[in-house]
Structure 1
Amino acid sequence: MADSWTFSEWSIGDVEPTAFVEAFQRFARVATALGGAGEGMVLQDEQDPTHFVIIRRWDSAEVVERWAGAQAEHADEVRRLVPAGGRSAVMTKVADLGGSATQSS
């Protein structure tokens, strides 16, 4: 079974970026505790520091559905910071891009 990935995009306006990231990390820890959530990351736009993309791997689409049903009761802090919410999607990995194990400066 293929891994599922969630993608969400956030425009946080006047919210302090650190406050948003910390709130989202707390929100994401609940998903981790439910099981089936894999690695993830919060990406911040270098040109627009109020723009974030969050990506997370999940064991299956069923796990994502379980989290989708439970997340509303844990999202209060993120919703207070960004009432408009974010745009999200569930995606399936179809290919690797490769790359080197080391980064060059």
Structure 2
Amino acid sequence: MAEIWTVSDWSIGDADPATFVAAFQRFADGATARGGAHEGMILQDADDPKHFVVVRRWESPEAVTDWGKEQHQHSGELRSLGLEARSAAVMTKMADLGAGGSETA
């Protein structure tokens, strides 16, 4: 089965970057607790410290859909900071990029 990833793009405006990261980690903990969410990361733009991209691997497209139905229950802290993703997508992994060459998933 192909790996499923979510990708979201965030511009945090006047919010403190450390506050955003901590709030997002607590939000993501809800997905971890419900099951179906695997490893992920929060990436900060090296040139724009107010821009973040969040990626996370999921068990299945259904796990993403199920989380989508209840994520509002866990997003209050992000909303209280006035934050919403600029964009979000569900992606299918096609290939790995490695130092030794290409590898198709």
Question: Is the partner of 2:97 in helix, strand or coil?
Answer: coil
Identity in percent: 58
- Matches for 1:45-56 after TM superposition, within 5 Å: 45-56=45-56
Q: Which runs of 5+ in 1 are unaligned?
A: 101-105
Q: Secondary structure at the match of 1:91?
A: strand
- How many residues are matched? 99
Look up the equivalent residue of 1:88 and give its one-letter code: A
- One-letter amino acid of the structure 1 residue matched with residue 14 of structure 2: D
More strand by share: 2
Aligned residue in 2 for 1:73:
73
- SS of aligned partner of 1:97: strand
Root mean square deviation, CA, Å: 1.1
With normalisation by structure 2, the TM-score equals: 0.90
User: d(CA) in 2 for partners of 1:80 and 1:51?
Assistant: 18
Per the normalisation by structure 1, the TM-score is 0.90
- CA distance in 2: counterparts of 1:73 and 1:90, whole angstroms: 20
Name whichever of 74-83 and 27-36 sits farther off.
74-83
Question: Deviation at 1:2?
Answer: 1.3
Contiguous gaps of at least 5 residues in structure 2: 101-105
